[in-house]
Amino acid sequence: MPESNRTIDDLMSLVGSSYASPDLDLLSRAYATAEGAHRDKVRLTGDPYIVHPLAVAYKLAEMGAHVNVIAAGLLHDVIEDSEISLNEVRSSFGDDIASLVDSVTKLKKVKYQGTDRYVENLRKMFLAMASDVRVVFIKFADRLHNLRTLYAQPRHKQERIAKETLEIYAPIAGRLGMSDFKGELEDLSFAYLFPKDYERVHDIISTKVREKGAYVSRVIDQTEKLLAEAGFVDCQVHGRVKRLYSLYRKLIKYDNDLSKIYDLIAVRAVVKDVEDCYAVLGLIHQKWTPLPGRIKDYLSQPKPNGYQSLHTTVFTEDGETIEFQIRTREMHDLAEYGVAAHWRYKEPGMSPIKNLYWMEELAKIQKELSDKKDFLEQLEIMKIDVFKDRLFVFTPNGDVIDLPEGATPVDFAYAIHTEVGNKCSGARINGNIVNLDTPLRSNDVVEIVMDKNRRGPNADWLKFAKTHHARSKIKDATRSTVKGWLSSMMRRG
């Protein structure tokens, strides 16, 4: 479906109204350069090419990205598509913007076709993420607009782009806590890859919104009245409809039993601070009966990607169930835009953004795997490390360790420290002694039993270790043990 195009006036209006003292002259100059560079080009939709960089820049502005990132969004195609050089961009707009434009351009310069193209694209994206995550924000906004205009592409390209988005881009957005991006990338891809399922899920949502719309509106009105009477003035209450692809995956999980899905339509309360979050939860539970086992506190125990919120499902007066999500404004922005939203709140002296260590780990892997064949062979391990669902488990001291689904105590031990892994002789989960190949579950408390006299890990651990880090450390240690044993045998001989 064609979408309405953004103009430079739309962009300037958005930035001017939502940014404090923005450099509008910078954006005006960046637009003039981009408009000149793309003047004679037309997209497959029939629109002038400039509508694409404008859409990318507008999305970045909606995210609250720095003005330099918005300017780079306007300029992200000029080096590839015109005679303008990187040095000219640097001379006109400075090192920071030139570096961003250069990185986005390098992500697009893929010389290979088929599998090679796919692998090279992955490698470059990972390296870009580790060096400057802002490059990924631009790339996501670029991909989002290309998906919105995918109807103009031939069928084989639609499927390739949608598949790549669903397998690579959306999971990375999820790991960065960017649920707004993740949801939109998934839904747009879903429509092209599984059109019949898309229509079926779309019909379910449309029907439920029609059936429950008035009821949810009443609950919102009651909640607003409840909070106003309790003296909460600085708060917002609104409805949230579940994303289509997210619902599709839940339906698969529950054998298409819609009655087991409680968050089809949720009510979200955005309040001033953490104290208000818990106070509002108490008020909601006083008015409506909570459903046992459905209260989730992601404030005291955030998800690995930084997501924080209170969730509860309640029975309303007419016997219906509805989920409430309660969070602060900052938590809401972080839930929508993840690490991108940190820039809105970043002050001088703030500590670095958490949970991005895995990007640096990925970059390390890419640099080690200079051979493309090697890289392809490692791709499945990397998918386990990065793209699978994550779980978080606790040390006895309460520290959170972020691991992939299916991880074992051995993965946990190596995530703590190489020596803890190498000297591991057993494990306790929630106080119970378990085998080292036992799969961990979120919220488990894991204690590693160490043997200081142990010479190193068991090579058999490779049969169940999941993370790249654990597997590489086990291989290194067992390799050196075998070499040492051979040397001692040769000395004896």
Among residues 35, 62, 81, 330, the one annotated as catalytic is 81
Decide if 328 contacts 277 (C-beta within 8 A): yes
The pLDDT, as a whole number, for residue 403 is: 87
Q: If we measure between CA atoms, which residue out of 291, 321, 292, 323 comes closest to residue 310? A: 323
Exposed, middle or buried: residue 364 (CB in 10 Å: 0-12, 13-18, 19+)?
middle
The pLDDT, as a whole number, for residue 382 is: 64
Q: Looking at the DSSP assignment, which residues form a beta bridge with residue 445?
A: 394
User: What is the C-alpha to C-alpha distance for residues 284 and 288, in angstroms, rounded to an integer?
Assistant: 6
Our CA angle for 143, 126, 404, nearest 5°, is 100
Among residues 23, 62, 80, 405, the one annotated as catalytic is 80
Q: DSSP assignment of 370-435, as one string?
A: -SHHHHHHHHHHHHHHHTSPEEEEE-TT--EEEEETT--HHHHHHHH-HHHHHTEEEEEETTEEE-
Decide if 275 contacts 282 (C-beta within 8 A): no
Exposed, middle or buried: residue 337 (CB in 10 Å: 0-12, 13-18, 19+)?
buried
The pLDDT, as a whole number, for residue 361 is: 64
User: What is the C-alpha to C-alpha distance for residues 175 and 177, in angstroms, rounded to an integer?
Assistant: 5
The pLDDT, as a whole number, for residue 105 is: 86
The pLDDT, as a whole number, for residue 444 is: 85
pLDDT digits (tens, 9 = 90+) for 421-441: 999 999 999 999 999 999 998
Q: Is 80 a catalytic residue?
A: yes
Q: Would you give the end-to-end CA distance of the chain in angstroms?
A: 77
User: What is the C-alpha to C-alpha distance for residues 480 and 482, in angstroms, rounded to an integer?
Assistant: 5
The pLDDT, as a whole number, for residue 343 is: 57
Q: If we measure between CA atoms, which residue out of 123, 157, 180 comes closest to residue 334? A: 180
The pLDDT, as a whole number, for residue 188 is: 97
Q: Is 336 a catalytic residue?
A: no
pLDDT digits (tens, 9 = 90+) for 176-195: 878 888 999 999 999 999 99
What is the β-pairing status of strands 310-315 and 321-328?
antiparallel
Helix, strand or coil, per DSSP, at residue 21: coil
Q: Set out the domains of the chain in order of their start, with CATH numbers.
A: 8-193 (1.10.3210.10), 196-345 (3.30.460.10), 388-492 (3.10.20.30)
Strand segments, DSSP code E, in 233-376 are 236-241, 265-271, 289-290, 296-297, 310-315, 321-328
Q: DSSP assignment of 429-460, as one string?
A: ETTEEE-TTPPP-TT-BEEEEE-TT--S--GG
Two structure tokens written together for 416 = 């703590």
pLDDT digits (tens, 9 = 90+) for 80-96: 889 999 999 999 999 99
Task: Show the low-confidence residues of the chain (pLDDT under 50).
Answer: 1, 111-112, 347-354, 482, 485-486, 489
The pLDDT, as a whole number, for residue 373 is: 61
